[in-house]
Structures are given as C-alpha cells and as structure tokens.
Amino acid sequence: MRRRIPIPHSEGQCSHQAHADFPKQAIYEREAGRSGFFGPASHFHHQHPPTAWSDWQGELRPRCFDFNRVDSNADSPWQVPVLLSNAQCKIRLWRTAKPMQHLVRNADGDDLLFVHQGGGELFCDYGHLVLNTGDYVLIPRSTTWRISPHSAMMLLMIENTDAGYELPDKGIVGQHAIFDPAVLEVPSINQTFRQQYSEKTTQVQIKRREQLSVVTFPFNPLDAIGWHGDLSVFKLNWRDIRPIMSHRYHLPPSAHTTFLGNDFVVCTFVPRPIESEPGALKVPFFHNNDDFDEVLFYHSGDFFSRDNIEPGMVTFHPAGFTHGPHPKAFDGAQTTSKTFTDEVAVMIDTRHALSVGEAAQAVENSSYVDSWKGALK
C-alpha cells in the first residue's frame, strides 16, 4: 500500500484553518496541494498576490480562448476540430442547425454533450429525448444517434476516450446530494421515435481512433421497439444541480464534481449563496495546479472570479503555476453586498497534460496572461 510522507507543521504567522481568518499582514492565501484537492496540502500566507507577475516567457502560461469564434459548423460532430486533448480526453465544439441526414457512432469512448445554445431532439438506439439549453447528455460508447435541432445549437463535446463516465462518490452526504438520480431522464420509445422508423437507406459514420468508417443500411437502424437494462443515454440539466456549500468555508472545486472520466473530472458551477461568515474567503483561493490541467467553459451569468470573460469563452490553466481570481474580483469580494453567485460554468480537470489544437490557438487571446495586472484587453 502506498503511503504519503506526513509533515504536519506550522511556521510563522498563519491562519487557524484553511480559507478563513487570515493574518492581517497577509490576506493572500495560496494552497499548494497534490492529487487535485484530495492529497496533502499546505497553505501559505503571502504579502503580495501570488499571481502578480510582471512578465511571462515560455509556453506554460494561463490561456484564454473564445470558442464563439471557432469555425465548427458541420453536419457531423466528427467533422469539427479537436480543440484540447490528451490520450484520455478530447474537447470539441460543434455547431449544428439542420437535422442530421445520417447517424453517428463513437467507438472510441463515451461522449458528454453540454448544450450551450439552442435546443432540439436526439434520436438514438434507446429512443427519443428533447434537448434544451443547459442539458448535459451522456452518450455511451458505440451508441448510434443523430440530432434534429429546433434552433441553431452550440454543443460542448467532452469525449471520455476508452472509458465510461461514472458518478462521483458522494460520501457522507448521501446519494441524493448535488443531484438526485431521479432527475436523470432517459430516452423514450414514444410516438415521435416510432414516426422516424423508415426503410430509407441510412448511413452510419463510425469514429474509431479518429478515423471514419461509413456503414450503409437499406433501412434506418434506429428501429428498436423496446429495451431493458441499466445502460442508457441520459440527460441532466444544470438547473437540477443543488450545490453543496458552507456559509463559513469556501469549498474547493471538487465539491462541485458532476461526472468522473478516465483520469479527469467534469464539474459544474451553478448559482449558490456566497459565504456569509465575516472571516471566510468569498472567492476561489489562489492555488497551484500541481497535478491537474484546468479548463473552464463559461456558459452564462456573471463569472465572479474573472474579469471580461463572456459566455462561450474558455480559460486554460496548465499544471505548474499558481492561479486564482483576477484583481478586480478579489478586491470586490472584500466589500461585495452580493449574497448569491449567478454564474454557470463547466470545468474539466485532467490528470495528464492537454495539447492545444490549431483551431483553439487561432481564437486565443494572447493578452490573458497579463490580465492579472488589470483589465483583460
């Protein structure tokens, strides 16, 4: 059994507990931790913001991309570029406005779709689902499916390569915390599904190892009349997520974990009460990315730890440096009268380093690294 090396110690002036009641001489707390927010950690109290760099040279830097500008209109999700990726996780953005005239299947892994804009209908092996803005849709590996939009759709796609998604262990708070599995909606073999039965020639585009095979059937293979079992497509809307929070303690991002992937997690930040304890930290704490790359896709609202970030934009903080709230957000949190956050964002934390695709590089705001000096230009 592996065992970490414990070094419990306190040095100099430090708070009694993490994220609260800082020494007056040093209001900037920095957490250095391992294994995300689950391993050994130390908390430093600094006289200056840990993000107050004056210059940055080299590739390891905070990065920001405007996914609204990505050229991702396509008839098939397999036609859009991979924006961020490693061997376990691939992140795409797909825009579609017309009903798909073919079917698709991913033989590489599970797909998690997040409907950022628009809505429509999903037809798959399991039946029919109506999709709305804010829905997560989990599509198990090798499921055959297509989408018929009601309005132009913009979907964040997170592939869990060579693995299936799982739900996090909710521990002592119980299985009904964060969201009750009763809210998960599975497809129905209803009249809408039965109406699409057809003897019309239909093609299925199958992706395997990023290569496509096209299989042609003399009928529509979405022809199931029923099914039973515990494997299925399902959807979850962020509005059904009820976050865990404490009025006295700023909880780490891991408290907002929604899905577990293969060496990565997907978290959802939704509106919640702001900490009300006078000495409690009210914005995300400065912390080191020592084991995980962090990606944040901003969906809607006022992103209280970021300045000049709009819906559809993405920030990327690779492992290896300290990051945290922008100066305006940090200063505002000290005097804010707000009692609630109103942001919705999807976070993807990966255990292994992500590569940035050419399409993402083309929509990067290179001045983001300097945004901790002031307003993002």
Catalytic residues: 250
Question: Taking a C-beta distance cutoff of 8 angstroms, is the pair 125, 104 a contact?
Answer: no
- Burial, 369: exposed, middle or buried (Cβ in 10 Å; 0-12, 13-18, 19+)? middle
Give the full edge-to-edge strand order of the sheet including 344-350.
Answer: 63-66, 313-317, 293-300, 344-350, 264-269, 257-260
Query: What's the Rg (C-alpha) of the chain?
Result: 22
Q: What angle do CA 352, 43, 170 make, to 5 degrees?
A: 60
Question: Do the annotations mark residue 293 as ligand-binding?
Answer: yes
Question: Do the annotations mark residue 162 as ligand-binding?
Answer: no
The Cα–Cα gap between 270 and 243 comes to 7
The candidate with the shortest Cα–Cα distance to 26, out of 6, 11, 5, is 11
The Cα–Cα gap between 225 and 232 comes to 15
Question: Do the annotations mark residue 55 as ligand-binding?
Answer: no
Q: What share of the chain is helix, strand, coil (3-state, %, to 5)?
A: 10, 40, 50
Residue ranges for the known binding site for homogentisate are 323
